[in-house]
Structure formats: structure tokens, C-alpha cells
């Protein structure tokens, strides 16, 4: 490709060292940008030049404080992989009213040990229903009841001063049908019609639908919606009011790049790439995980690296294990796409283990997942704002001696409380009669038995947190789970929420926070403190799931240069054990290990470490 066009008009006002910095970054990253664009667009050089101009303009406009952050992050590119990182996710309004309220509560988060805050979509959405803000109407403004862009900037400043990075959603797959682009398309502007995927009749939609899965089979069946204004079938993977954008159009890439750079200059440090798997469509496929998705990510990531390297990307790819690793960069995209990705499989298996009181299936499934690149990290979590879909692979289930279909049905029965003796109190989300799938909504505490009054619920919550914080990666807590909040009994009465049971597990934060009667908060804080002092939990060290010796115990080894760490988790309601041989195999000496959660030696007898009901230990050598 030819060199990019001159940027003097954009960079002229900058001091020499700044210009040199920009040039050095271009020299470093331009090859990645070019490589990303070639498979995507007919004229990659033209797209590259437009992107570089955007990057130069954003670089020139970036504040001194954020340039300083860029420098610090360049010197510590592993900042988000460190054991002291703890994440928290919340709706700004449900957490603290508005953005200024969140800033006022920053001390609460810092005190809990939080270093990363994911605030749910806060750019202006269409009026309700808007899928919890995932139907964005305007990328340039903040939802008016939450504040303004200035408030957002002020909030990122307050958080940054406390060492907390703000993560925001970038809803890549769609915009609201009320978005300016869609309105222009509706008004007949062909440029903007090209921002979407619109078909004059059903022939292509029918052909695509032959291989497309249903995302919201219950309240939004099908993937296309007829629109009178554009006189066509619009691709709407999610709800009918969420119009999928056409990423094959380079103008769409440019628009999103501009949004990223502008939010990065407002102080946003992590971008959550919402529903990223769906962004590229291909006939005859399920239109997820297409190779172009990763090229698009690489293009956006590279542009942000040039203008705002303090930022990182998090992929929201709730996809099968065979497709997941590509989001963290495999092959030629190694180190060039997202830095973080949700470990959906771990989350699902935490619940599967607790219901079945057996770690065998989880171990089989987790062992099959390839190791992520050492510069990336899993986002680990017990649950999030979304439902839990039972992503249990049939082949994994067969290897563990159970039927995939049967186990998924069992989990749905269990977590809705229908299974005899169950303590789970979740709700069904999106029952799909065609596949038999029933996804589940519920807070951590309600799913773990607190709502049912089960005496073991606090221990189960602590165990789930121990797994999530002890796996390695960036653990993210959902607002209120640190207090054991139950499902919101009034969830369905709010306008637009009645058919979406996910609102049950998005309760409002009670201030002042309730007494920690069950010790849930204290238990979590113990784990946060222990984690901070455990270099073994740096995400560059991979987690290795060992074969269970006792079916009830999940074993996770982390082989760090400082020595091994063994996490052992009893997922059952009876005492269990870890044979000393497991420790020996890792180079740990049974008499010389410490449980880093309690700071004491674990209970050892009969050549085994003993684990109480729902017990967890993080063992390292004392020497
Ligand atoms: C993601 C979000 C989910 C939303 C969907 C559509 O999966 O997590 O809440 O419904 O994208 O934007």
C-alpha cells in the first residue's frame, strides 16, 4: 500500500515530541491496520487513510492527563491482568441514580477493592423498550436522566483518581431504529440505507433464516423485520427495533472508530464489544464468528492503539468453546484483537457443578478450552446482567457420562426450583419449544439458595466467588451480589420489562447497604484481599484444570514462576478431599503449604487435604 496522506493539518499545532510519538505509533501499528482492512474492503488504502486521519485528530485532542495515562499503560501493558484487578458491573441509575451519583459512590467501590467498573449502556437509547439501553439512538450523548457527556468525563476523572477504569458498551451489531442513520434510511437516503441490511422481499431473508438460530425466540422471533418506511425487510437479529448495521460498508467502521476515539478521549478505558459475534453475515452459516469479525476488531483495536493506547477491548462473545479463543487472538491475529473475553463456560459450569454436586463434567469441558494468549485475560463471573444459557456441549457431556440434553433440562428444572429438593429460585428466560432450551434469570443469591432459605446458601455463594476470583483473569462482580441481593420481586411491573425476566436479577442497590447478616460481604472481601497478594493469579499464568480425584472437587492448578498454586473447590454438600499426591505432582509439599484464603495450613489427614462442605482452598508453598 502507498503511505498515508499528510497529516500536517491535524498535527501542526502539537509540540515536536508529540508529533514524534504519533509517528512512532503509526510506524508500529500501521501494518496491523492494513492487514486488518485487506480482507474487508475493496479499497483498503482509502479506508486506512480515513482511519489514520481520525486517529490523528483524536490524538491531537487528547488531554494531557490521558496522554500521561497512555504512557503509564505502555509501560505496564499487563495492568488489566494483575491480581489486584477486581471488576464490578452495574446500571448507573440502579446503582446510584445518575453519573454524578456513581461518582459519589466511588469510595464504596474502592473500599470493596474494585479497579474496573462496567456501567451498562448509558449512551442515549430509544425510549423504552430499548433492551436495557442496547438500542442506542445517539452515540454522541448520554441518556439525559443520567447526565451529560461532561458528567461522563467528570466521572472517569473521579474513578481514575481512585485507580478505577471505566468500561462502556460499544453496541456494535445494531442501533435503534430511531438512530439518525436509520431515520435517514427511512427518509430514502441511499447512503444510509447502505448502513443497514435491507431486502426488498423475503427471498434472501428466507435463505439466511434456514441456518440462523433464534436469539430471542420468545419476544422477537425471526431475524428480519418488515419496515414500511424503508419498504423492505431489515435485518434485526435481536429485537425488531434493533437494526443490524452493515459492517461490509466501510463508512460504518469509520463511524464506530470515531465513537471509540471520542469516548476514549472522555476517559473510557475499556470497551465492551457487545454482541460482537454477530457483526458479519454469511449465507449458509449461523452468521456468527465469521473470520471478518476478527479483522474488524483488529482494525478498531489498532486505531485505538494509535490514538489512545491506554484503552483495551473486551469481547462479549457468548459462543461455543471452539469459537471463543479467536476473540482473544489466534494465529495471525494473536495479540491484535480483544484483550479480555467473557469466560461463559466457567460461569455455566459453576452452576452446573453446584446443582449436580459433581465436578467431572466441568473439568472435561474446561480442559478442552485452549489456553488464551499470555497477554490477555478471561473475564470470570458468577453471573451478569444477562440470563444464563446452558452452554453444555453434547460431546463434553457424553465424555462425562451424561446426556447433554438431559443435563440442560435438569439445570433449567433445578434453577427454577422445579426439581425436587432444589434450592434455586430462578426464572425462565426465552423458552424455545423448537430446541427445548430454557435459559435462566436470577441473582447470585437467589440462584444459590438464599431466597429459598437454604442454610448452605452463604457457603455456596462464597464458593462461587472463590472459583471466580481464584481462576485467574479479571473477576467481575454484578452489583448487589456482594450483598447477597435477592431477585427483585417487582421486576415485571416496570414499563417495558414484563416480558424480560432478566430484570428480576437487576435489583436496585439499597443505600445504606444492609447488614452483612450472612457474612457474604465479609467472605468476598477476604477473597479480594487474598487475591491481591497472590502473583500466581496474574492472568499471564494459565489456569490448568486437573482431572478430579474426588468427583466433588474441582482442581485448578496455576504454574507460576514463583511455584504452583492449587485451587481446590468442593462443590458438594458433603466433606471431600484432595489426595496429597495432587500436591506432590505440582511440586508442593503437603506439610509446607498454606491456604492463602485463610492464611493458615489446610486441614490434612489420611494423606489428603480435607475440604469441608462447599470448602475452597488456594494452596501455595509456605517456603
Ligand atoms: C448482549 C447484551 C444483551 C443484549 C444483546 C443485544 O448480549 O449483553 O443484554 O440483549 O447484546 O444488544
Q: What is the pLDDT of residues 294-343, one digit of tens each?
A: 999 999 999 999 999 999 999 999 998 889 999 999 999 999 999 999 99
Given pLDDT bands bounded at 50, 70 and 90, which one contains residue 5?
low
Query: What is the value of pTM for the model shown?
Result: 0.96
pLDDT average, residue stretch 226-244? 97
Enclosing H/E stretch for 602: none
DSSP letters, 82-131, are: STT--EEEE-HHHHHSSHHHHHHTHHHHHHHT--EEEE---EEEPSSPSG
State the cell numbers at 59.
490524538
Residue where the block lists cell 473447590: 569
Q: Does 386 sit in the ligand 1 pocket, CB within 6 Å?
A: yes
Q: Does 319 sit in the ligand 1 pocket, CB within 6 Å?
A: no
Residue 451 alpha carbon to ligand 1 centre in Å: 26
Q: Which residues contact 248 (CB under 8 A, 6 or more apart)?
A: 40, 41, 280
Residue whose CA lies nearest to ligand 1 atom number 4: 134
pLDDT of residue 180: 98
Phi, psi (deg, nearest 5) at residue 354: -65, -35
Residue 129 alpha carbon to ligand 1 centre in Å: 13
State the cell numbers at 379.
473475564
Q: Does 429 sit in the ligand 1 pocket, CB within 6 Å?
A: no
pLDDT average, residue stretch 564-590? 98
Residue 2 has pLDDT above 80, yes or no: no
SS (H, E, C) 373-390: CCCCEEEECCCCCCCECC
Residue where the block lists cell 502539537: 14
46 has catalytic annotation: no
Q: Which atom of ligand 1 is nearest to the CA of 502?
A: 9
pLDDT average, residue stretch 248-254? 98
Q: Does 171 sit in the ligand 1 pocket, CB within 6 Å?
A: yes
Residue 212 has pLDDT above 90, yes or no: yes
Provide the residue count of the chain.
623
- The CA distance from 136 to 238, in Å, is 13
Question: Residue 596 in contact with residue 572, Cβ under 8 Å?
Answer: no
pLDDT of residue 322: 86
- The CA distance from 480 to 171, in Å, is 24
User: CA 104, 106, 108 angle in degrees (round to 5)?
Assistant: 105
Picking from 356, 324, 359, the residue whose alpha carbon sits closest to that of residue 342 is 324
Helix axis angle, 360-368 to 344-356, nearest 10°:
170
Residue whose CA lies nearest to ligand 1 atom number 12: 134
Q: What is the pLDDT of residues 169-185, one digit of tens each?
A: 999 999 999 999 999 99
pLDDT average, residue stretch 453-461? 98
431 has catalytic annotation: no
Average pLDDT, the chain: 96
Residue whose CA lies nearest to ligand 1 atom number 9: 386
Residue 48 has pLDDT above 90, yes or no: yes
Residue whose CA lies nearest to ligand 1 atom number 8: 386
Residue whose CA lies nearest to ligand 1 atom number 3: 386
Residue where the block lists cell 457443578: 353
Q: Which atom of ligand 1 is nearest to the CA of 386?
A: 9
> How far from chain centre, in Å, is Cα 52?
28
Q: Does 131 sit in the ligand 1 pocket, CB within 6 Å?
A: yes
pLDDT average, residue stretch 437-465? 98
Residue 274 alpha carbon to ligand 1 centre in Å: 6
Question: Residue 260 in contact with residue 271, Cβ under 8 Å?
Answer: yes
User: CA 39, 40, 41 angle in degrees (round to 5)?
Assistant: 110
Q: Which of 273, 275, 478 to mutate to test the pocket of ligand 1 (most atoms within 8 A of CB)?
A: 275
State the cell numbers at 440.
435462566
State the cell numbers at 118.
462496567
Q: Which residues contact 45 (CB under 8 A, 6 or more apart)?
A: 1, 2, 34
Q: What is the pLDDT of residues 114-145, one digit of tens each?
A: 999 999 999 999 999 999 999 999 999 999 99
Q: Does 500 sit in the ligand 1 pocket, CB within 6 Å?
A: no
- The CA distance from 19 to 478, in Å, is 42
Report CA Rg, the chain. 24
pLDDT of residue 481: 98
DSSP letters, 276-325, are: GGGSS--TTS-SSS-HHHHHHHHHHHHHHHHH-TT-EEEE-----HHHHG
pLDDT average, residue stretch 569-581? 98
Given pLDDT bands bounded at 50, 70 and 90, which one contains residue 561?
very high
Q: Which of 238, 241, 314, 383 to mutate to test the pocket of ligand 1 (most atoms within 8 A of CB)?
A: 238
Amino acid at each position: 500500500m502507498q503511505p498515508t496522506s499528510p497529516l500536517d493539518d491535524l498535527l501542526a499545532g502539537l509540540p515536536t515530541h508529540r508529533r514524534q510519538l504519533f509517528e512512532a505509533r503509526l510506524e508500529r501499528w500501521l501494518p496491523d491496520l492494513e492487514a486488518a482492512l485487506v480482507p474487508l474492503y475493496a479499497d483498503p488504502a482509502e479506508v486506512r487513510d480515513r482511519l489514520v486521519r481520525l486517529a490523528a485528530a483524536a490524538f491531537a485532542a487528547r488531554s494531557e492527563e490521558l496522554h500521561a495515562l497512555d504512557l503509564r499503560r505502555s509501560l505496564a501493558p499487563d495492568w488489566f491482568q494483575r491480581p489486584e484487578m477486581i471488576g464490578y458491573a452495574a446500571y448507573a441509575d440502579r446503582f446510584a441514580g445518575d453519573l454524578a451519583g456513581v461518582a459519589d459512590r466511588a469510595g464504596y467501590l474502592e473500599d470493596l477493592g474494585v479497579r474496573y467498573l462496567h456501567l451498562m449502556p448509558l449512551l442515549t437509547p430509544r425510549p423504552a423498550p430499548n433492551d436495557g439501553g442496547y438500542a442506542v439512538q445517539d452515540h454522541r450523548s448520554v441518556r439525559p436522566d443520567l447526565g451529560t457527556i461532561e458528567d461522563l468525563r467528570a466521572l472517569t476523572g473521579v474513578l481514575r483518581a481512585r485507580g478505577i477504569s471505566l468500561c462502556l458498551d460499544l453496541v456494535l451489531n445494531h442501533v435503534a431504529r430511531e438512530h439518525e442513520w436509520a431515520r435517514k434510511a427511512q427518509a430514502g437516503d441511499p447512503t444510509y440505507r447502505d448502513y443497514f441490511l435491507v431486502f426488498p422481499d423475503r427471498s434472501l431473508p428466507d435463505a439466511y433464516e434456514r441456518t440462523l438460530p433464534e436469539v430471542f425466540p420468545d419476544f422477537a422471533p425471526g431475524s428480519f423485520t418488515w419496515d414500511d418506511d424503508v419498504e423492505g425487510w431489515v435485518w434485526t437479529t435481536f429485537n425488531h427495533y434493533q437494526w443490524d448495521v452493515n459492517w461490509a460498508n466501510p463508512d460504518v467502521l469509520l463511524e464506530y472508530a470515531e465513537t471509540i476515539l471520542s469516548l476514549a478521549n472522555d476517559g473510557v478505558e475499556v470497551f465492551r464489544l457487545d454482541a460482537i459475534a454477530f457483526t458479519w453475515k454469511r449465507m449458509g452459516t449461523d452468521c456468527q464468528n465469521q473470520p471478518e469479525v476478527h479483522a474488524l476488531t483488529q482494525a478498531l483495536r489498532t486505531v485505538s492503539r494509535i490514538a489512545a493506547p491506554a484503552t483495551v477491548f473486551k469481547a462479549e462473545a457468548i459462543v461455543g468453546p471452539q469459537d471463543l479463543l479467536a476473540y482473544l487472538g489466534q494465529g495471525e491475529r494473536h495479540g491484535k484483537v480483544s484483550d479480555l473475553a467473557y469466560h461463559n463456560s466457567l460461569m455455566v459450569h459453576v452452576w452446573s457443578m453446584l446443582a449436580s454436586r459433581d465436578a467431572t463434567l466441568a473439568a472435561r469441558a474446561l480442559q478442552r478450552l485452549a489456553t488464551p494468549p499470555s497477554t490477555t485475560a478471561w473475564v470470570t463471573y458468577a453471573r451478569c446482567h444477562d440470563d444464563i444459557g446452558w452452554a453444555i456441549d453434547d460431546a463434553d457431556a457424553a465424555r462425562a457420562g451424561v446426556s447433554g440434553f438431559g443435563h440442560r433440562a435438569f439445570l433449567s428444572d433445578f434453577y427454577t426450583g422445579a426439581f425436587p429438593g432444589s434450592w434455586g429460585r430462578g426464572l425462565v428466560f426465552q423458552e424455545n419449544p423448537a430446541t427445548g432450551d430454557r435459559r435462566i434469570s436470577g441473582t447470585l443469591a437467589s440462584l444459590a439458595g438464599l431466597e429459598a432459605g437454604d442454610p448452605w446458601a452463604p457457603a455456596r455463594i462464597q464458593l462461587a466467588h472463590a472459583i471466580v476470583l481464584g481462576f485467574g483473569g479479571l473477576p467481575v462482580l454484578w452489583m448487589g451480589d456482594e450483598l447477597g441481593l435477592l431477585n427483585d420481586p417487582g421486576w415485571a411491573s416496570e414499563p417495558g420489562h414484563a416480558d424480560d425476566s432478566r430484570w428480576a436479577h437487576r435489583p436496585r442497590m439499597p443505600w445504606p447497604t444492609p447488614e452483612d447478616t450472612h457474612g457474604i460481604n465479609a467472605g468476598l472481601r477476604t477473597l479480594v484481599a487474598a487475591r491481591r497478594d497472590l502473583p500466581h493469579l496474574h492472568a499471564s499464568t494459565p489456569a490448568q484444570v486437573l482431572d478430579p480425584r474426588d468427583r466433588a472437587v474441582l482442581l485448578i492448578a496455576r504454574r507460576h514462576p514463583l511455584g504452583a498454586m492449587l485451587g481446590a473447590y468442593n462443590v458438594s454438600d458433603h466433606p471431600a478431599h484432595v489426595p496429597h499426591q495432587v500436591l506432590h505432582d505440582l511440586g508442593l509439599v503437603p506439610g509446607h503449604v498454606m491456604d492463602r484464603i485463610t492464611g493458615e495450613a489446610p486441614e490434612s489427614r489420611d494423606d489428603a487435604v480435607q475440604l469441608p462442605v462447599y470448602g475452597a482452598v488456594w494452596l501455595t508453598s509456605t517456603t
